[in-house]
Amino acid sequence: MAHDPDVLRGLLERVKAAKGPSQEMEAHIVCVAAAPEGSFVTYGPISGRYRVCVGQNERGKDLVWEGWPDWNFEEITTSIDAAVALVQHVLPGAMWAAGCMEGGPFCRLVYPTNAQDRSNLGTGWGHSVSMEAEGGPATVPLAICAALLTALLAQQETSDVR
């Protein structure tokens, strides 16, 4: 899936600057990382929640992406488990380490760049991105989300060079 680098950079800056969980930010992260191309985020006036939509029906009502409620990624800025589930969905085979250090939360992702990389674990496997503690995200789930967005941005920039 192609990702708009400007959208990824803007969202990454929002995640890094966030002071805590945000339902709206969660919807935007899932929208750019996992939803079908052309998806968008709206606010559901009846449910009172943000949601990822894939279009509109003939009456102009938003069509909620079926994957949104099923995957339960609605707590990725709150829950380490939910954030890691999103990483595993978007970057299958990725290895991760996250936690808190003296300077604050951090996350490091190592992910395969292609299918062959998965079989060469000890020999220069894939790419690595880090969200370091100093000046980084406020919580571990936010650090994981920021590392995922950084990885997607790196993938996009690499594919743009080719």
- Whole-number Å distance between alpha carbons of 66 and 81: 21
- The reported pTM is 0.84
Do residues 54 and 65 make contact, with C-beta atoms less than 8 angstroms apart? yes
The count of other CB atoms within 10 Å of the CB of residue 129 is 20
- Whole-number Å distance between alpha carbons of 124 and 45: 49
- The number of distinct structural domains making up the chain is 1
Q: Which domain covers residue 60, as residue numbers? A: 5-161
Q: Which of 109-118, 122-131, 137-146, 152-161 has the highest mean pLDDT?
A: 137-146
103-106 CB contacts, 8 Å cutoff, 24+ apart? 103/132, 103/133, 103/134, 104/133, 104/134, 104/136, 104/137, 104/138, 105/131, 105/133, 105/136, 105/137, 105/138, 105/139, 105/140, 105/142, 105/143, 106/130, 106/131, 106/132, 106/133, 106/136, 106/143
Q: Which element (helix H / strand E) includes 106?
A: strand 104-111
Instruction: Check pLDDT > 80 for residue 41.
Output: yes
- For the stretch 58-73, pLDDT in tens is 999 999 998 766 666 6
pLDDT attached to residue 97: 87
Task: Average the pLDDT over 99-119 and give the result.
Answer: 73
